């Protein structure tokens, strides 16, 4: 392949997990394009800087991507590597999600130094999570537990657990597996008990819409089944206006030519959780996501979400 420029710069957050994901994309790009030089451009985002306020109150997940997007718009970077879970449903003008890489384990993980499972936790135990989605599902399973906010990157959260501030914390299994800490996972929480967030475990790559050079370089990193699953999940979130931190779960699986999607909207206190599921041909992943959102809205999801936004 003839390349005018042989350098590609990756905008990334500085957290260990973000750096791992950027290094992973760098390695994949260098594997497919041996003559390409890939450089990382690490930066701090508002989401990394403001650590003392619950995410829902400071504007949600867009905070983790804005600085990276600005770097691409200014030409300081060519791509941004994101955890799909942290990517808002809409992109700024001139940027788009071009590539979705193969998904890691999408499940939530139960992490504790004393207890092996959620069931083993004694009455009133303190569980750390900053995710409304995890909070409402745990409250529904175990109304007696105390949920305490937990912010910071994966290592910060683990340090807070080790300090004794929590009896257990819930993290995405993907983050712990990528950071080579599988022994930290006391138990995987099955989707039936804690439906993952849309895109959890998948890495996505954003770039400028008009950058055909970079798009050609990215193409071999695309994973079709993951793309279908994440498209269905994100379409559901988008229809529910799940723009910021919300108690929404969305999880799709592909079986042959069929995509199965499960969705959930919950009241933060776990008092009410709406579930829905739907299946259809993979070519219609997004329509299935939208239809599922509409099923949830018809069950009253709009009222639950309006309450969440009012309290945030
Ligand atoms: N909210 C932060 C975040 N964004 C992505 C991951 C994990 C990795 C992934 O989902 O790909 C995490 C940590 C967590 O939820 O424990």
Which CATH number fits the domain that encloses residue 289? 3.30.160.40
pLDDT of 196: 97
Question: Among residues 86, 105, 108, 211, which one is catalytic?
Answer: 86
Cα 171 to averaged position of ligand 1 atoms, centre (Å): 7
195 within some domain: no
Same domain, 91 and 214: yes
Strands 146-148 and 126-128: parallel
As beta bridge partners, residue 215 has none
Residue ranges of the chain with pLDDT lower than 70?
Answer: 1-4, 50-61, 242-244, 312
1 within some domain: no
Same domain, 154 and 211: no
Between CA 129 and CA 50, with CA 113 as vertex, the angle to 5 degrees is 30
How far is the CA of 169 from the CAs of 144, 179, 224, 254, in angstroms? Answer: 16, 17, 32, 30
At a CB cut-off of 8 Å and minimum separation 6, what does 180 contact?
none
Q: Ligand 1 pocket: which of 137, 159, 172, 196 to mutate (most atoms <8 Å of CB)? A: 172
Same domain, 11 and 97: yes
Same domain, 249 and 209: no
Structural domain tally of the chain? 3
184 within some domain: yes
Measure CA 310 to chain center.
23
To the nearest 10 degrees (0 to 180), the angle between helices 285-298 and 301-311 is: 80
Residue list, ligand 1 pocket, CB within 6 Å: 83, 85-86, 154, 171-172, 174-175, 200-201
pLDDT of 3: 46
Interface predicted TM-score of the whole assembly (ipTM), two decimals: 0.95
Tell me the whole-structure pTM to 2 decimals. Answer: 0.92
pLDDT of 243: 56
Question: Which helix (H) or strand (E) element contains residue 39?
Answer: strand 37-43
Same domain, 94 and 206: yes
pLDDT tens digits, one per residue of 97-122: 999 999 999 999 999 999 999 999 99
169 within some domain: yes
Contact 32, 103 (CB under 8 A): no
142 within some domain: yes
Long-range contacts of 160-166 (CB under 8 A, 24+ apart): 160/128, 161/111, 161/112, 161/113, 161/128, 162/113, 165/126, 165/128, 166/126, 166/127, 166/128
**Residue 232, by phi and psi: left (phi above 0), alpha (psi -120 to 50) or beta?**
alpha
pLDDT tens digits, one per residue of 202-229: 999 999 999 999 999 999 999 999 999 9
Range of the domain at 31: 7-101+202-222
Report which protein residue has its CA nearest ligand 1's atom 15: 172
């Amino acid at each position: 392949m003839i390349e005018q420029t042989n350098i590609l710069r990756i905008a990334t957050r500085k957290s260990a997990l973000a750096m791992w994901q950027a290094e992973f994309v760098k390695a994949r790009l260098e594997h497919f394009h041996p003559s390409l030089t890939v450089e990382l451009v690490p930066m701090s985002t508002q989401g990394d800087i403001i650590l003392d306020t619950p995410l829902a109150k400071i504007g949600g997940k867009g905070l983790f991507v804005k600085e990276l997007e600005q770097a691409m718009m200014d030409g300081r970077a060519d791509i941004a590597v994101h955890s799909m879970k942290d990517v808002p449903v809409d992109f700024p003008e001139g940027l788009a999600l071009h590539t979705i890489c193969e998904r890691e384990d999408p499940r939530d993980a139960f992490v504790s130094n004393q207890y092996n499972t959620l069931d083993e936790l004694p009455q009133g135990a303190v569980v750390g999570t900053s995710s409304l989605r995890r909070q409402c599902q745990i409250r529904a399973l175990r109304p007696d537990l105390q949920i305490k906010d937990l912010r910071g990157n994966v290592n910060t959260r683990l340090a807070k657990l080790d300090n004794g501030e929590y009896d257990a914390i819930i993290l995405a299994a993907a983050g712990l597996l990528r950071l080579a800490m599988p022994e930290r996972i006391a138990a995987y929480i099955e989707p039936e008990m804690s439906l993952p967030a849309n895109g959890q475990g998948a890495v996505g790559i954003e770039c400028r819409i008009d950058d055909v050079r970079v798009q050609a370089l990215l193409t071999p990193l695309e994973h079709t089944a993951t793309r279908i699953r994440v498209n269905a999940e994100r379409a559901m979130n988008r229809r529910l206006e799940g723009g910021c931190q919300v108690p929404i779960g969305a999880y799709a699986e592909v079986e042959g030519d069929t995509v199965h999607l499960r969705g959930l909207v919950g009241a933060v206190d776990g008092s009410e959780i709406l579930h829905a599921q739907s299946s259809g041909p993979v070519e219609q992943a997004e329509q299935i996501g939208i239809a599922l959102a509409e099923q949830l809205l018809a069950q009253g999801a709009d009222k639950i979400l309006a309450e969440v936004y009012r309290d945030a």
